[in-house]
Amino acid sequence: MILPKKPGGVLAFMSGYAAKSVPNVITAVPGGVFGTTVFSKGVIHPGTAPRNFSKIITKKHQPLFRAALQNAMNKAAKVASV
């Protein structure tokens, strides 16, 4: 439930919304609010599905990071052994 901050106040929001992103995809498309302004004393918001950006980025970049880290350790070990 979302209620106004001030007692006796109202919420004001646009009647429509189009998401700019979707779960499990690292990209964005045009979107945002649209429609007429609606005033309400409260709303029950269903929530938003998690986008999982961290999981997707980790899956994509972890192998590259591991390879770069291994190369750096190999280079440091080579310099230390001389």
In the chain, the N- to C-terminal Cα span, in Å, equals 66
Tell me: the pLDDT tens digits for 14-69? 999 999 999 999 999 999 999 999 999 999 999 999 999 999 999 999 999 999 99
The sign of the CA dihedral 74, 76, 80, 82 is: positive
What global pTM score does this model have? Answer: 0.60
E strand map for the chain = 11-18, 32-40
Backbone phi and psi for residue 68, each to the nearest 5 degrees, phi listed first? -65, -40
**Residue showing tokens 């439930």:** 1
